[in-house]
Amino acid sequence: MEIAGFGVEEWLNQWEKSATYDISQSTIDSMTMKEALSLDGKDGEEFYKLLDRKKMNYGWIEGSPEFKKAVGNLYSHVDVDNILQTNGASGANHLALYALLNPGDHVISEYPSYQQLYDIPKSLGADVDYWKIHEDQDWYPNIAELKRLIRPDTKLICLNNANNPTGTFLDKSFLQQVVDLAKKVGAYVLVDEVYMPLTDTDRYASIVDLYDRGIATNSVSKTYSMPGLRVGWTVSNKAVADLFRKYRDYTMISCGVFNDAMATYILHHREQVLDRNRRLVLNNLAIYKEWIDAEPRASMVLPQAVSTSFPKLDVPIDIEDFCIQLLKEQGVLLVPGNRFDMPGHVRLGYCADEATLREGLKRLSAFLRRYDRS
């Protein structure tokens, strides 16, 4: 099985530990265990008491009933039996694609987005068409183009809502149009939902609340600031969940007793986490917007209270060389746009802690000034 290198992950694997000002990441500033355990006001006392009593066996294979119930509460119409815990959203995407696709299947994937959503299908022998997003349409893809791409034998449409790297989310009415087209040919719609917008939520919907053949993947990594837990999930109808179960047994047993307990705890304190993160996102977005307005070499379709963004940088050199020089000279890390097949842009994760964001942007501007002289 051949597979392309994973552009963004390979970049981060190589450089993220050398950054002093890491404004490349897409997680909303990760919490420490201390911060997370202070959410219940008991500083971990209750949580560790619960954990002390637990045997470190495999735990609940598909996720504990408490975990499934907490995940089920995130949706309007979901049977908790059809929720399966996975190793992050990356594990969820992999499971779904591995279970659903056969060589020759027709897949349509939003592009660019998270590379798993097109390169895993290709590696499985699927026939993948890209459904492109357009900067001049606020990074939305176009329904007319989907109409042209969809075929009677289309098996799966893959979306990433909100989108990494742009931070744009497809609203409910747009998703409904995708569902209407998918329904006509019986295609599944898989939506990676790790980036939930933190404002404007009445215009946002999970695919599983719109479509019986919708499959949602998600995790506590981005919106919930706990990527270190490596806990995610799939939500689908029963037939699809049963298919996933069959494949899941070959690739994972469980996510572990500790991780399940901690992920459940985080979801039980969801409102507090979302309040923390909404404050952080809106505060940082204001700082970022002020910077963009003042920086002549940067322009951007603003992200929508989602923790990733994709500004355009006006630099006269190769964008990857630019990012390497920026890191080496200023300690600032970005992801070059070529890692999403879009040179000319960079992914800028503005939801780092405020001090890192401010210093990172200041240094980025100082570095950009060298091109004003030439």
Residues that bind ligand PLP (CB under 6 A): 26, 88-90, 114, 160, 164, 192, 194, 219, 221, 227, 232
The residue number whose beta carbon is nearest to ligand PLP equals 88
Q: Bridge partners of 234?
A: 84, 217
185 or 252: CB nearest ligand PLP: 252
Minimal distance in Å, beta carbon 227 to ligand PLP?
A: 5
164 or 304: CB nearest ligand PLP: 164
Minimal distance in Å, beta carbon 89 to ligand PLP?
A: 3
The per-residue b/e assignment along 15-47, b for 16 or more CB within 10 angstroms, e otherwise, is: beeebebbbbbbbbbbbeeeebbebeeeebeeb
90 or 277: CB nearest ligand PLP: 90
194 or 235: CB nearest ligand PLP: 194
Place of tokens 């989310």: 169
Q: Bridge partners of 345?
A: 312
7 or 227: CB nearest ligand PLP: 227
68 or 339: CB nearest ligand PLP: 339
Residue 116 identity: Q
Minimal distance in Å, beta carbon 347 to ligand PLP?
A: 10
Minimal distance in Å, beta carbon 17 to ligand PLP?
A: 16
Contact, 185 vs 156, CB < 8 A? Answer: no
Place of tokens 């042209």: 148
Q: Tell me the backbone φ, ψ of residue 75, rounded to 5 degrees.
A: -125, 165
List CB contacts of 87: < 8 A, sequence separation 6 or more. Answer: 230, 231, 232, 252, 255
94 or 363: CB nearest ligand PLP: 94
Minimal distance in Å, beta carbon 5 to ligand PLP?
A: 16
Minimal distance in Å, beta carbon 222 to ligand PLP?
A: 7
Distance of CA 288 to the CA centre of its chain: 20
DSSP string for 322-366: HHHHHHHHH-EE-EEGGGGT-TTBEEB-TTS-HHHHHHHHHHHHH
Minimal distance in Å, beta carbon 160 to ligand PLP?
A: 5
Q: In the structure encoding, which two tokens stand for residue 115, read together?
A: 């590379």
How many Cα neighbours within 13 Å face the side chain of 354? 10
